[in-house]
Amino acid sequence: MDFVKKNKLFSFYTFLVISIFIVAFLAPILATHDPYESNIANVLQMPSAEHILGTDKLGRDTYSRIIYGTQTSLFMTVCLVILTAVIGSIVGILSGYFGGKVEIILMRFADMMLSFPGVILAIAIAGILGGNIINTIFALVVVSWAKYARLVRSLVIKLRNNDFIMAARVNGTTTLNILLRHIIPNILPMVVITGAMDIGTMMMEIAGLSFLGFGAQPPTPEWGLMLNEGRQYIQTAPWLMIYPGIAIFIVVAIFNLWGDSLRDILDPKQE
pLDDT band at 101 (very low <50, low <70, confident <90, very high): confident
Cβ atoms 70, 256 nearer than 8 A: no
Gap between the Cα atoms of 54 and 241, Å rounded: 11
pLDDT in tens, 19-54: 999 999 999 999 999 999 998 888 999 999 999 999
Any domain includes 32: no
Three-state secondary structure call for residue 39: coil
Kindly write down the DSSP assignment for every residue of 175-192, as one continuous string.
HHHHIIIIIHHHHHHHHH
Any domain includes 24: no
pLDDT band at 112 (very low <50, low <70, confident <90, very high): confident
Residue 261 sits in a domain whose CATH number is 1.10.3720.10
pLDDT band at 271 (very low <50, low <70, confident <90, very high): very low
**pLDDT value at position 206?**
92
How many domains is the chain partitioned into structurally? 1
Closest CA to 205 of 110, 109, 76, 89: 76
Any domain includes 57: no
- DSSP β-bridge partners for residue 84: none
Gap between the Cα atoms of 72 and 82, Å rounded: 16
Any domain includes 7: no
Any domain includes 183: yes
Gap between the Cα atoms of 53 and 48, Å rounded: 7
pTM here is 0.89
Q: Which domain holds residue 258?
A: 72-270
Any domain includes 108: yes
Gap between the Cα atoms of 192 and 271, Å rounded: 17
Gap between the Cα atoms of 271 and 268, Å rounded: 6
Phi, psi of 182 (to 5 degrees): -120, -45
Intra-chain end-to-end CA distance of the chain, in Å: 22
pLDDT in tens, 223-268: 999 999 999 898 899 999 999 999 999 999 999 999 988 888 876 5
Cβ atoms 227, 249 nearer than 8 A: no
